[in-house]
Structure 1
């Protein structure tokens, strides 16, 4: 019986049209080939399994096809067939990871001086070129600077930062992207249809997600799934093979969180432990689910119609505010990084669940339909809020702490508005109005309001900033806050865990958002896109700054 060829090799693209997810590279190379604007050295960068070596081989065919230099090699001439089969004498492939020494490079460069045996160009493909030694790179420089007319170098690497800038500057560089999950799933579906193997949509999503942007990995995992299922693919078998967390557990956890049902959350964790599921993978998948919730809330169109559990995603997303989702995401991400330090995975996982509950805002708003009631608005869930001012029977003013609903609650005795009634829990806005600078201002920016009482406000400061808690800084902050509120106020400080939503973090987040918007604006500018696509221009992201 003739052994079958592995899918990753059988379905390796043999032309630019068969490539998936690298349209920006294909377009640039196609234009260059059609206009005969050829470079002597190409550099393809990107993570594993996304097509670097594949594109290099297709480029070799495009340059040596017997029909002429073309962006659509025929695939049937002797040059194309020999390149596809790996026996083209004028295509030399070298793995730099196993040939790092200068002697190998010198031998290769000496051979480059000789004309091709039968081809138009002698092509050198050097994979993982960053692994070459410094002396090997130095030996390459002269040839890259003044290459023979008949030689083309195609370099590939997963780590371009390790390549000397003197080499980078002599190459035409293309950055390959990780392949999006939908494109991987669609390609796997096409492969299975051609192989006449049935597969459900959920299994395809699981297989595509596990590939993490690598098409080669996706096809290898698909091969494994076919073998695991003895020629058939089903969801249960794929989950067992991958050790994937059943999404039902995660939805149950989030549903219990929305109800503040700690007992139910622990019961789900116990069920996961019984099945020996990976809690590290569970936190990773939970972060992914929270990311989808954020998209569902802010950019609903990003959740495609074919997304699994789409209706449930929207239903659960609408039980939280966007601020809640951002907070939960941070807690889960940090919980995963802390997992290795926990007594055991179960303890680390359940502690993260308890942290989610501990930072839940009081009095969660209920939804009345697919969207929140328009009257319900809340400020950051982590900041206690001054809800009203009322007189007690003793005639003293008291401040009641309540949920930030965005609407002013009725007081028994209504008083004229005062500075403290404008506090409304928005500590970040208050900090910007305080007459502070230097270290006292840094202290205020890194504080988080823990509780507010009649004449006292308690703050929490993260441990990494406890050095700011000098008495003179506290006193200046107290004077500034008393002046702002219009009456003396006592401040208390404690060191502990904060939610990351203090004024400094909010300001930093705002800066990051503005920077991202500025970069996006430049990247999508028609003139910039034309330069990048048609003239191989490279955008230096670090030079982009938002306009104030």
Structure 2
């Protein structure tokens, strides 16, 4: 007897044999059992998820000699003819090969005639999106008001290409991709009936490689059975698919956790000896990091389908939760960038080296309160890792260096013999007193700079007052949204430990009570005493620190433009090359 491939042999013959797609099956079963049938159905989804299979089963349900129901007998003449593909009343058309309008007209010429021997004449048009615009127009009228004995069953992998006029005339069912769990369960059932021995990890490899398509999974299973001489062994399936051994993935994550780049490159070298698919290896790495993150969040939810729950749990203990999230993001981006790498192996190696390069050296314990945050030692050779509220609020702000403007010249057209020139005035030396230097800038957005129009105060604890609020704010070490909120406030009253602020209405859309608490904590940490802070949204009676800074920035921009325009060397260049000054390119270097 001729061998029949698994994908055809195990094609479902009734709704009860279908795997997945319950949301579609339930709607069709209810419509059939309650006689609420539509004249046109559209089934969409990727390849191998059951579109044509459901359409054929539906045709059986409509034309079964036992009556219209969701359970065709499968034994009558009509059911057998449909199953064997020889029913004269089921017209199955491949739209990809019949795209012309003449083909559609020929197909519809016999619509008005009654079926030969069945209850309904069923038109099953596969890949309907391949029809031409003229073909769709020829189909529209019949599709909207067909004779009572005609049903249209349309299937497509690309519903976006269908005209809205066609979509509006059909009941649309979107079939989902099969999850690996459903595919593995079905493959196990098929192999048991086929009496083929298998290892469960091999089925998971096939289930993931199928990418949601049951037909692809069965075809890969056929190939794996032939590759393994009648058996499904994990190592054979990995070799066939080019998948990396999971032991390498464990070793890679352990090497990243240990921060050992030499060991990582050595592991990749051992992987390369087996000629793996490094893009597939990236997928395995992403999947493993995901399992580690799940194990960290919900230890009881570890997926043990590979029989490696203990090893995943050990990785979850050795890798921090923040690191796991970082590794996952780097791996996702690395997979996207792999096509740009000189070769897959170098792209994979760079992905691993990025995990080491961008791994944080330390993480702030979020359980610490404001009282636990102490000022860091004032060491000019070390950076600060203060948080948003800032443990360095008592540190004096570093004096701002003088800004030197830069420009770009744009000439209309320059010949090869007359190269363009770029003018940049020399920057004056401005050596800061070593005693006044402080730690590196805080992580995140930079703190508010004090404009030159405001006298700078360093090394002194300022008492809150409406006059010195801009200088005091520059020493609080606030960052991000909190710093933005504080810079748009004006202190209007400071008395007896009570500070009252007015927040500019235009900058209050994201303000909440949490910002007020963080500002209060920063002030208490700075002044080393309890305070009460209230913030009212309104129109500040005077200038906020942000207004002062904006005014100073505008003045610096004006001075930069004036300095550039008055530069004699610039004027000489403009005259020599018939150029024009692009004012939009002028900006102070400290902007």
Q: Tell me, yes or no, whether TM beats 0.5.
A: yes
* Counterpart residue number, 2:488: 435
* Counterpart residue number, 1:68: 67
Shift in CA distance, 327/129, structure 1 to aligned 2, threshold 3 Å: same
Deviations 1:347-394 (A, max 9, x none): 2221221111111000479xxxxxx99889xxxxxx9535744889x9
* Counterpart residue number, 1:385: 386
Give 1:30 deviation, angstroms: 0.5
Shift in CA distance, 434/79, structure 1 to aligned 2, threshold 3 Å: farther
2:339 is the counterpart of 1:337 = no
Would the aligned equivalents of 1:388 and 1:399 in 2 still touch at CA under 8 Å?
no
Query: Aligned equivalents of 1:268 and 1:432: distance in 2?
Result: 50
Would the aligned equivalents of 2:442 and 2:477 in 1 still touch at CA under 8 Å?
no
Give 1:403 deviation, angstroms: 10
Matches within 5 A, 1:414-429: 427=480, 429=482
Shift in CA distance, 402/282, structure 1 to aligned 2, threshold 3 Å: farther
Shift in CA distance, 402/267, structure 1 to aligned 2, threshold 3 Å: farther
Query: Aligned equivalents of 1:375 and 1:196: distance in 2?
Result: 61
Larger Rg: 2
* Counterpart residue number, 1:188: 187
2:109 match: secondary structure: helix
Give 1:312 deviation, angstroms: 2.5
Give 1:419 deviation, angstroms: 6.2
Shift in CA distance, 373/207, structure 1 to aligned 2, threshold 3 Å: farther
2:43 is the counterpart of 1:44 = yes
Shift in CA distance, 196/373, structure 1 to aligned 2, threshold 3 Å: farther
Shift in CA distance, 431/100, structure 1 to aligned 2, threshold 3 Å: farther
Matches within 5 A, 1:333-482: 333-363=332-362, 384-386=385-387, 388-389=391-392, 398-399=438-439, 427=480, 429-431=482-484, 433-435=486-488, 479=549
Deviations 1:238-269 (A, max 9, x none): 01101111121112111111121111111111
2:253 is the counterpart of 1:254 = yes
* Counterpart residue number, 1:470: none
Unaligned runs of 5+ in 1: 366-371, 377-382, 405-414, 442-474, 483-548
Would the aligned equivalents of 1:388 and 1:400 in 2 still touch at CA under 8 Å?
no
1:103 match: secondary structure: helix
Query: Aligned equivalents of 1:321 and 1:49: distance in 2?
Result: 40
Query: Aligned equivalents of 1:228 and 1:82: distance in 2?
Result: 36
Query: Aligned equivalents of 2:169 and 2:176: distance in 1?
Result: 22
* Counterpart residue number, 1:127: 126
Give 1:324 deviation, angstroms: 3.0
Give 1:228 deviation, angstroms: 0.5
Shift in CA distance, 101/299, structure 1 to aligned 2, threshold 3 Å: farther
* Counterpart residue number, 1:279: 278
* Counterpart residue number, 2:231: 232
Would the aligned equivalents of 2:202 and 2:234 in 1 still touch at CA under 8 Å?
yes
Residue-pair matches, total: 425
Shift in CA distance, 421/355, structure 1 to aligned 2, threshold 3 Å: farther
Aligned-residue RMSD, C-alpha = 3.5
Give 1:302 deviation, angstroms: 5.2
Give 1:175 deviation, angstroms: 0.5
Deviations 1:169-225 (A, max 9, x none): 000000000011101000000001001111111101101110010000000000000
* Counterpart residue number, 2:111: 112
Query: Aligned equivalents of 1:202 and 1:260: distance in 2?
Result: 30
2:381 is the counterpart of 1:328 = no
Shift in CA distance, 364/391, structure 1 to aligned 2, threshold 3 Å: closer
* Counterpart residue number, 1:139: 138
* Counterpart residue number, 1:203: 202
Shift in CA distance, 419/231, structure 1 to aligned 2, threshold 3 Å: farther
Shift in CA distance, 435/226, structure 1 to aligned 2, threshold 3 Å: same
Query: Aligned equivalents of 1:44 and 1:326: distance in 2?
Result: 38
Normalised by the length of structure 1, the TM-score is: 0.70
Would the aligned equivalents of 2:473 and 2:487 in 1 still touch at CA under 8 Å?
no
1:385 match: secondary structure: coil
Q: Which moved further from structure 2: 190-199 or 248-257?
A: 248-257
